[in-house]
Amino acid sequence: MFSFLTTIRGSLLSSVVCAFALCAFTLCAFALCSKSLYAAPMNDSSSTVAASALTVSGFVDAYYALAFATPPAKTRAFTTQPLYHNEFSINFAFLSLAYSSDRVRGRFAAQVGSYVESNYAAEPQFWRNIFEANVGYRAVENLWLDAGIFASHIGFESAVSKDNWTYSRSIVADYSPYYETGVKLTWTPSSEWLLSALVLNGWQIIRETNSDKSFGTQVQWKPSSNLLLNWSTYIGNDRPDTAAREMRYFNNFYAQIGLSEKFSLALLGDVGVQQRPNNTLSVWFGGTVLVRYSLSDRITLAARGEYYSDPQGIIIPTGTSNNFQTLGISANVDVALTANLLWRIEGRWFSSRDAIYPTENAAPRPTDGFVVTSLAFSF
């Protein structure tokens, strides 16, 4: 078993390091050679210069959920969205101010909601209400350098529910970073390709926890409007300087496929390897299948099947013998009431290997689920 895990560690580490080195080398080479390709000054009338723009946008997601296993203190376990049982609440709301021009871009967005309460609990109080705060500079054509707090480069689903196929996030999305802090270099050589290399404070953190830095890459290929393939990586150590280093090697894959004008399919997969203090390795993985069907311009249906296995409790410790090994299914209905108002209903069910779901007046049980309805407004 150990030789198998050692092989995994070697292959994953090699793939991550090689991918990062390839992206970094390609981007640097492009930047050097592009000095001659992008020599026109900004005031040259022959060059195309985009007008600067300042935009204000916002989003409010209000919800009500009922959990099957009535949780203590009305707080659901293991999934962050929706968080509360039998309570009208705000899942996520933000107000954003963004600036963009030909060479400079930036965004600041403030946030509130139960999503923030759940996912930012480890952050210092001052930072918890910052959704995004970043600035970017276009060094040469199609090459941007961004720094600050921004949405994660990992995963198919984001914190903004209206942008996802289902109301609640898949387990693989809930347990990979929603946000990150650092520096990102992004190159889009064509409309088909996006390549990014990142240096980060760590795994979903704003304030640094040690003297190490983490690294990430993203490769995205979109050959047509019906196919998008993405591979994102992360490598880093988030343990304090006073503790033994425990490196994390993580790969995220997803594919979005348009099977017809109305029917779409998404395949999501994560695999991670964590170094342990005794020099052993722990592996966790998860997979999700999402399908979406448009009944009309206003009504959309979606369904999801998923499985997540973390037997050593690296990402989701439960304190039980098998930790988190869970199968899930869900169904979702979306109704676009207006262009900026979306009503959603979702039912979701989980079945775990151990009795991990807490109840208010009885012993934990191995199954849980919920129904939730949401009204989301955006401008």
Give residue 371's Cα distance to chain centre: 23
What's 150's domain CATH number?
2.40.160.10
Residue 62 and residue 81 in contact, taking contact as beta carbons nearer than 8 Å: no
Paired tokens of 230: 């993405």
User: Can you say whether residue 167 is alpha, beta or left, with left for phi > 0 and alpha for psi between -120 and 50 degrees?
Assistant: alpha
pLDDT at 279: 83
- Domain assignment present for residue 141? The answer is yes
Please check whether residue 196 is in contact with residue 186, taking contact to mean a CB–CB distance below 8 angstroms: yes
DSSP state at residue 307: E
pLDDT for the residue numbered 204:
97
One-letter amino acid at 292 equals: R
Under the banding of pLDDT at 50, 70 and 90, the label for residue 361 is confident
Bridge partner residues of 102 (DSSP): none
Domain hosting residue 273, numbered range: 2-36+52-378
Q: How far apart are CA 332 and CA 346, in angstroms?
A: 4
| Per-residue model confidence as pLDDT tens digits over 13-53 | 444 344 444 344 333 333 333 333 333 333 333 333 456 89
- Is the pLDDT confidence value at 217 over 90? yes
- For residues 347 and 359, give the distance between their C-alpha atoms in angstroms, rounded to a whole number: 19
Q: How many CA atoms lie within 13 A of 360 on its CB side?
A: 12
Report angle CA 265, 218, 9 to the nearest 5 degrees.
100
Q: Is residue 240 pLDDT above 60, yes or no?
A: yes
Regarding predicted confidence, which is higher, 46 or 104?
A: 104
C-alpha distances in angstroms, 110 versus 126, 154, 169, 184, 198?
12, 21, 21, 21, 23
* Three-class DSSP category at 336: strand
What mean pLDDT comes out for the span 172-186? 98
**3-class DSSP state of 2:** helix
How is residue 20 written in tokens? 């990062």
Q: Is 251 a domain residue?
A: yes
Look at residues 173, 126, 121 and name the one whose alpha carbon lies nearest to residue 290: 173
pTM attached to this predicted model: 0.84
Report yes or no on 44 lying in a domain.
no
Residue 277's pLDDT is 85
Q: How confident is the model at residue 315 (pLDDT cuts 50, 70, 90)?
A: very high
Please provide the average confidence, as pLDDT, over all residues in the chain: 89
Higher-pLDDT residue of 240 and 17 is 240
The number of distinct structural domains making up the chain is 1
pLDDT at 192 over 90: yes
Asked whether residue 46 is domain-assigned, the answer is: no
pLDDT at 278: 83
Give how far the C-alpha of residue 338 lies from the chain's centroid of Cα atoms, to the nearest Å: 27
Q: What is the pLDDT of residues 273-298, one digit of tens each?
A: 999 988 899 999 999 999 999 999 99
Per the structure block, which two tokens stand in for 169? 């996030």
The answer to whether residue 42 is domain-embedded is: no
Secondary structure E strands in the chain = 53-67, 88-100, 104-112, 130-140, 143-151, 179-187, 193-200, 214-224, 227-236, 248-258, 263-275, 281-294, 299-310, 324-338, 341-352, 367-378
Among 50-59, 62-71, 87-96, 129-138, the minimum mean pLDDT is found in 50-59
Distance of CA 81 to the CA centre of its chain: 13
Query: Residue 348, exposed/middle/buried by CB under 10 A (0-12, 13-18, 19+)?
Result: buried
27-31, 130-134, 287-291, 305-309: which has the minimum mean pLDDT?
27-31
């990992």: which residue's tokens?
154
> Is 155 contained in some domain?
yes
Residue 362 has a pLDDT of 80
The 10s digit of each residue's pLDDT in 327-351 is 999 999 999 999 999 999 999 999 9
- Is the pLDDT at 8 greater than 80? The verdict is no
d(CA 266, CA 156): 9
